[in-house]
Amino acid sequence: MELYIIRHGIAQERSPGISEVERSLTKEGRQKTEKIAKRLHNLAVEFDLILTSPLVRARQTAEILLEHQLSSQLETTDHLTPGGDIYAWLREWWEPQQHPPETSIALVGHEPSLSQWTEILLWGEVKERLVLKKAGIIGLTVPVTGSPVGCAQLFWLTPPKFLL
Amino acid sequence: MELYIIRHGIAQERSPGISEVERSLTKEGRQKTEKIAKRLHNLAVEFDLILTSPLVRARQTAEILLEHQLSSQLETTDHLTPGGDIYAWLREWWEPQQHPPETSIALVGHEPSLSQWTEILLWGEVKERLVLKKAGIIGLTVPVTGSPVGCAQLFWLTPPKFLL
């Protein structure tokens, strides 16, 4: 099956007046993310489910993907908040489910967690060797049975500039 | 500096009548590689040097990149033939040179050598976790001093279908 890992678009900077949870996409971030979503749709990329961090900038990114018909299913999970533990997600969300071989799932969240999760799926440990830009995308193939840790294969990693 | 790793386009199948060295790009392989080269040019990708395997299908791929103004320098090296040893290449080609920080070099060659070289540059060993399709591209940032083994970062890996 395919697992797509997508970082939220450009968001408001950290500032004392706004909580970390509430930071939202800027106008530029929204426009760029919409362009990416349109391009993904033209490339026939589709997800059976989008799983997103509940933080506003991630949820807005996921909603843009939904609006561009990349999926019809959106689910929120605290596992995808910054610092979320992939092993807890695998245990509590991934393992209890059946994943048909053709399933395609997108995870929308934050750095550095997303590239750390990817590295754990690829080669079982974090080496900080992947660069995932805002609105960037990673594509993995993952076995449908057994633990995916150290068993995924990377077929795509792109910064948004090469998709626009 | 940037190191781009590019697999040759679709080539003639192996057959008794044609040597491994002489297999050339098919009509489809040539057309697809030309489209990729045009797209790379539009994306402002440029190489100070293209280093290619001497095998016909790789050299033809490198020449298409040259024709589309992605570089003005082409060099052939036996290190990039199938099964070439990255450590020998680093010792004999890479290390004796000064690489200014802004340098961008493209390597054109064959699988599985190219993704093995990439894995060695990324995390120091071969784990067979990368999928590099024909005419696919990998983008790495590499330190200009010291050994790049285990020190590269991956900012791009794309199959041709997401570039066309």
Is the pLDDT at A145 greater than 90? The verdict is no
Note the pLDDT tens digit of each residue in A13-64: 988 888 889 999 999 999 999 999 999 999 999 999 999 999 999 999 999 9
Amino acid at A151: C
Residue in chain A lying closest to B126 (CA):
A123
Please compute Rg for chain B using Cα positions: 15
pLDDT of res. B63: 98
Q: What is the pLDDT of residues A99-134, one digit of tens each?
A: 888 999 999 999 999 999 999 999 999 999 999 999
Nearest CB to B129; choose among A131, A153, A161: A153
3-class DSSP state of A78: helix
- Which site among A2, A115, A119, A131 would you substitute to test the B interface, given the most B Cβ atoms closer than 10 Å to its Cβ? A131
ipTM for the whole complex: 0.95
State which residues of chain B have pLDDT below 50.
Answer: none
Q: pLDDT tens across B100-128, in order?
A: 889 999 999 999 999 999 999 999 999 99
pLDDT tens digits, one per residue of A68-95: 999 999 999 999 999 999 999 999 999 9
Single-letter residue type at A82: P
* Predicted pLDDT of residue B41: 97
Which chain A residue shows the shortest CA-CA distance from B132?
A155
pLDDT mean across residues, chain B: 96
Model pTM score: 0.96
**Window 89-148 of B, Cβ < 8 Å to A:** 122-123, 127-131, 133, 141
In this complex, how many residue pairs, one in chain A and one in chain B, have their CB atoms less than 8 Å apart?
A: 56
Residue type, position A30, single letter = R
d(CA B142, CA B147): 9
Cβ-count burial A85-120 (b if 16+ within 10 Å, e if not)? ebeebbeeebeeeebeeebbbbbbbbbebbbbbbbb
DSSP SS3 for A51: strand
CA B80 to chain centre: 9
CB contact under 8 A, B155 and A153: no
Q: What is the pLDDT of residue A58?
A: 98
